[in-house]
Amino acid sequence: MKILFLNGPNLNLLGTREPEVYGRTTLKDIEAKVRERAARFGAEIDFRQTNAEGELVAWIQQSKGYCNVIVLNAAAYTHTSIALRDAISAVGVPTIEIHLSNVHAREEFRHKSLIAPVCKGQIAGFGADSYILAVEAAVNVNESSK
């Protein structure tokens, strides 16, 4: 199986800015951990980051027939993007929403996710481990879709 990890705006700064909020682990470190965990399940990983909303939309559109499951940390676009929600809904590839931080324990504007209703589920608040948990969730989602 193939899992497509998509990361949204500013996640390229992880580990280099605001360590008190987002920790000291870089996105490269997280990618390495994800690849290690996925190897246990024989799952293939495509891991990407962009600051551009339209690029995320394009990647979601191209995912049909390319991967089995999308794991999406849409970052701030989680709270604003009808375009991402429409793309996830239109393409129909099972998508898991993830966040490093517990968005529900933060500012009110982070409590609302526009993509949650079209995702299989949400993992939030476990730091880099949210990504590892998402590998396990993606494998389970793929198994139960067979």
Distance CA 100, CA 33 (A): 14
Question: Which residue lies nearer to ligand CA2 by CB, 5 or 22?
Answer: 22
- 129: DSSP letter: H
- SS3 call for 97: strand
Q: Which is nearer to ligand CA2, 63 or 97 (CB)?
A: 97
- Which residue numbers are catalytic? 22, 99
In the complex with ligand CA2, the residue whose CB is nearer, 44 or 136, is: 136
What is the closest distance, in whole angstroms, from the C-beta atom of residue 38 to ligand CA2 in the complex? 19
Beta bridge partners of 122: 97
To the nearest whole angstrom, how small is the minimum distance from the Cβ of residue 110 to ligand CA2? 4
Query: Which residues contribute to the site for ligand CA2 (CB under 6 A)?
Result: 10-11, 13-14, 17-18, 22, 73, 75-76, 78, 99-101, 103, 110
